[in-house]
């Protein structure tokens, strides 16, 4: 237990990395303070995961209502009300932020509202509205996250140019939108706004959209985006802004074309948030891009200072941040935990959804790993057809020698839920035969995973055998 007036652990940043870390430290008996400069919940709750999913839920409802007649239901007068959609989104995030504040209080964690930096003595200096306050502490956990990366081509003070944070705060649905970058965030916004009636052109520097995903998934996603009316231009970027207007932007593309739109969203990645922390003075190694270096225990190069979440790079996802934060918390309170990354599910909440975990088919081929790639299409699955969502597939990547499941890519209905069956199987070291031998309820979407596992052994019931020559 810390001396009078001193903390055992001070956590900097209250996002999905920081607040679970603070709670875990408190659960382990530590006296904890959490310093947050803005809102607890961080990017995830306030400007990321949750608000985008709340908007997507509205967009999906609209898309379903428009399809209602196919299901024998007549719905007339479907009209998105952006103000109400935004209000619902805000209510969802406010509820969750309120929940975190209560949890912090219930765990006896002192919340300090202010901007934190680390002193050379490895205490924390919090700049608050009431003045500077030094929080003396034994251990520090840095969880300061990331901010949207900006491109020098664009002047972000112009009303037409947006980061993802700006796009979430729009007071109306733009008539037209250029999205620079076809990664996860750009693709999710494309789905939201195209359903709401925005005309979208998506630009991607690489030769395919979703460049970090399995090529089969990316290819099928491109074709569904096209069907949704989204114009995707690969190997294309903006070379020059020709005009900024109050109500729009005109740009020149690397293809030579000129393009005009009401808004332009830059979604090209994130920048690490370590500026102003005074890492160097405290002996904490930071690379030239601001990423804080950590070992498997999530400890930085300075003894007793840990870091987690987006600011340490790697997989920039909320659940990774949380797991890293929990490892840091264990170690900052006398434990001995290490962070493992081989089973991290990653989901893209587009229509249809994408869920992936572990090795994909492309990487297996690149790395020369001997695998069996086994697929099952949702088009052959009763539940998917009944739901009217029979697009996409399950793809299992299986070790050809041991039959252990090494990865999976799922594109289709509820892919973000389904992927966890494979994640659990991988975590338990299961083989594809284990999955095939597990009775799955009928009719259900997870049957597609079972069928893909059966197909790996030539036993899938709903896949026609290869034609005999
Ligand atoms: P953050 O959430 O960024 O939190 C850091 C906190 O630290 C912030 O509250 C910040 O105010 C505070 N802070 C920073 N510096 C200081 C300082 N010096 N002093 C005091 N406080 C400070 N991930 C998913 O897993 N699923 C998704 O669906 C998903 N969707 C996303 C959608 C969008 C549009 C975006 C932008 C991101 C999305 N992410 C998603 C990524 C996810 O939001 C991040 O990976 C996650 O929030 C990282 O958590 P973190 O705790 O490391 O950082």
Q: Which residue ranges form the domains of the chain, and what is each CATH number?
A: 6-147+271-332 (3.50.50.60), 161-268 (3.50.50.60), 346-455 (3.30.390.30)
82 lines ligand 1 (CB under 6 A): no
Question: What distance in angstroms lies between residue 69's CA and the mean position of ligand 1's atoms?
Answer: 40
Distances (CA, A) of 188 to 130, 147, 306, 447: 40, 18, 32, 27
Dist. CA 16 → ligand 1 center (Å):
7
Of 17, 31, 11, which is closest to residue 305 (Cα–Cα)?
11
Pocket of ligand 1 contains residue 318 by CB under 6 Å: yes
User: Is any atom of ligand 1 closer than 6 Å to the C-beta of 273?
Assistant: yes
Sheet of 263-266: strand order equals 161-162, 263-266, 176-180, 199-204, 231-234
Q: Is 363 in the pocket of ligand 1 (CB under 6 A)?
A: no
Ligand 1: atom nearest CA of 16 is 51
Instruction: State the Cα–Cα distance between residues 407 and 207, nearest whole angstrom.
Output: 24
Indicate whether this model's pTM tops 0.85: yes
Pocket test for ligand 1, best of 14, 22, 49, 150 (most atoms within 8 A of CB): 49
From ligand 1's centre to the CA of 434, what distance in Å? 37
Atom 30, ligand 1: which residue's CA is nearest?
49
Q: What is the pLDDT of residue 244?
A: 98
The number of the ligand 1 atom at minimal distance from the alpha carbon of 35 is: 20
Which pLDDT score, from 0 to 100, does residue 467 have?
75
Sole residue written with tokens 């594109």: 411
Compute the distance between CA of residue 6 and CA of residue 27 in angstroms, rounded to an integer: 18
Q: Tens of pLDDT along the chain (469 residues)?
A: 667 779 999 999 999 999 999 999 999 999 999 999 999 999 999 999 999 999 999 999 999 999 999 999 999 999 999 999 999 999 999 999 999 999 999 999 999 999 999 999 999 999 999 999 999 999 999 999 999 999 999 999 999 999 999 999 999 999 999 999 999 999 999 999 999 999 999 999 999 999 989 999 999 999 999 999 999 999 999 999 999 999 999 999 999 999 999 999 999 999 999 999 988 899 999 999 999 999 999 999 999 999 999 999 999 999 999 999 999 999 999 999 999 999 999 999 999 999 999 999 999 999 999 999 999 999 999 999 999 999 999 999 999 999 999 999 999 999 999 999 999 999 999 999 999 999 999 999 999 999 999 999 999 999 887 777 6
List the residue whose alpha carbon is closest to atom 35 of ligand 1. 48
Between the alpha carbon of residue 195 and those of residues 62, 350, 351, 389, the distances in Å are 7, 11, 10, 17
Which atom of ligand 1 lies at the shortest distance from residue 116's CA? 19
Q: Which H/E stretch holds residue 138? A: strand 137-142
Whole-Å CA distances, 340 to 216, 256, 301, 327, 427: 27, 46, 19, 10, 11
Q: ∠ CA 355-360-361 to the nearest 5 degrees?
A: 130
A 10 A CB-CB count for 81 gives 10
- Give the SS3 label for residue 173: coil
Six token digits for residue 266 = 């830059």
Residue 239 backbone dihedrals phi, psi, to 5 degrees: -95, -25
Cα of 48 from ligand 1 centre, angstroms:
7
Q: Is the peptide bond before 170 cis (omega within 30 degrees of 0)?
A: no
Q: Tell how far the Cα of 57 is from the centroid of ligand 1, in angstroms.
A: 21
Q: What is the dihedral of CA 101, 102, 108, 109, to 10 degrees?
A: -10
Check: CB of residue 132 under 8 Å from CB of residue 116.
no
Q: Is the CB of 267 under 6 A from ligand 1?
A: no
290 CA from centroid of ligand 1 (Å) = 15
**Residues designated catalytic:** 442
57, 318, 347: residue to mutate for ligand 1 pocket, most atoms within 8 A of CB: 318
pLDDT of residue 278: 83
| Distance between first and last Cα of the chain | 76
Q: Ligand 1 in contact with 197 (CB < 6 A)?
A: no
Give SS3 for 259. Answer: strand
Q: Strand 32-36 to strand 110-113: parallel, antiparallel, or no bridges (unpaired)?
A: parallel
For ligand 1, say whether the CB of 430 is within 6 Å of any of its atoms: no
CB 250 within 8 A of CB 258: yes
146 lines ligand 1 (CB under 6 A): yes
Say whether 21 sits in a helix, a strand or coil: helix
Distance 165 CA to ligand 1 centre (A): 11
**How much distance in Å is there from the Cα of 25 to the middle of ligand 1?**
20
Closest of 235, 204, 212, 209 to residue 363, by C-alpha: 212
Q: Using the 8-state DSSP alphabet, how is residue 280 labeled?
A: G
Which strand (E) or helix (H) includes residue 12?
strand 7-12
Phi/psi region, residue 343 (left: phi>0; alpha: psi -120 to 50; beta: rest), is beta
Q: What does the radius of gyration of the chain's CA atoms come to, in whole angstroms? A: 24
Q: Strand 161-162 and strand 263-266: pairing?
A: parallel
Concatenating the DSSP letter of every residue in 345-374 gives: -EEE-SSSEEEEEE--HHHHHHTT--EEEE
The verdict on the CB of residue 142 being under 6 Å from ligand 1 is no
pLDDT at 469: 64
CB of 185 within 6 A of ligand 1: the answer is yes
Q: Which helix (H) or strand (E) holds 452?
A: helix 447-455
């Amino acid at each position: 237990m810390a001396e009078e007036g001193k903390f055992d652990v001070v956590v900097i940043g209250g996002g999905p990395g920081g607040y679970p870390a603070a709670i875990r430290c408190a659960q382990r008996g530590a006296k904890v303070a959490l310093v947050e400069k803005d809102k607890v919940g961080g990017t995830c709750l306030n400007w990321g995961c949750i608000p985008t999913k709340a908007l997507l839920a509205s967009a999906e409802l609209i898309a379903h209502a428009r399809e209602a007649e196919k299901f024998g239901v007549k719905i007339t007068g479907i009209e998105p009300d952006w103000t109400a959609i935004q209000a619902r989104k805000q209510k969802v995030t406010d509820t969750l932020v309120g929940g975190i504040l209560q949890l912090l209080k219930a765990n006896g964690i002192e919340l300090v509202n202010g901007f934190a930096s680390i002193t050379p003595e490895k205490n924390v200096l919090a700049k608050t509205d009431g003045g500077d306050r030094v929080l003396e502490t034994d251990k520090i956990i840095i969880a300061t996250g990331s901010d949207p990366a900006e491109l020098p081509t664009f002047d972000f003070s112009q009303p037409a140019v947006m980061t993802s944070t700006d796009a979430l705060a729009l007071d109306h649905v733009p008539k037209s939108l250029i999205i620079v970058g076809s990664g996860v965030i750009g693709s999710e916004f494309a789905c939201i706004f195209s359903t709401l009636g925005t005309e979208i052109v998506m630009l991607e520097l690489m030769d395919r959209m979703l460049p970090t995903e399995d090529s089969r998934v990316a290819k099928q996603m491109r074709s569904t985006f096209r069907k949704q009316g989204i114009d995707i231009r690969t190997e294309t970027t903006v070379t020059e802004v020709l005009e900024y207007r109050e109500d729009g932007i005109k740009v020149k593309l690397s293809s030579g074309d000129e393009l005009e739109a009401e808004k332009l969203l830059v979604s090209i990645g994130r920048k690490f948030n370590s500026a102003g922390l005074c890492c160097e003075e405290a002996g904490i190694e930071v690379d030239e891009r601001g990423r804080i270096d950590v070992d498997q225990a999530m400890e930085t190069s300075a003894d007793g200072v840990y870091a987690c979440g987006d600011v340490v790079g790697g997989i920039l996802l909320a659940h990774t941040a949380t797991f890293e934060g929990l490892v840091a918390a264990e170690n900052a309170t006398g434990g001995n935990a290490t962070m493992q990354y081989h089973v991290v599910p990653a989901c893209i909440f587009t229509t249809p959804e994408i869920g992936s975990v572990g090795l994909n088919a492309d990487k297996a081929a690149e790395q020369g790993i001997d695998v069996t790639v086994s697929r099952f299409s949702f088009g052959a699955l009763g539940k998917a057809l009944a739901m009217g969502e029979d697009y996409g597939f399950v793809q299992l990547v299986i070790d050809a020698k041991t039959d252990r499941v090494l990865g999976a890519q799922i594109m289709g209905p509820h892919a973000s839920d389904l992927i966890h069956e494979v994640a659990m199987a991988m975590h338990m070291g299961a083989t594809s035969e284990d999955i095939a031998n597990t009775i799955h309820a009928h009719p259900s979407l997870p049957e597609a995973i079972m069928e893909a596992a059966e197909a790996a052994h030539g036993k899938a019931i709903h896949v026609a055998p290869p034609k005999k020559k």
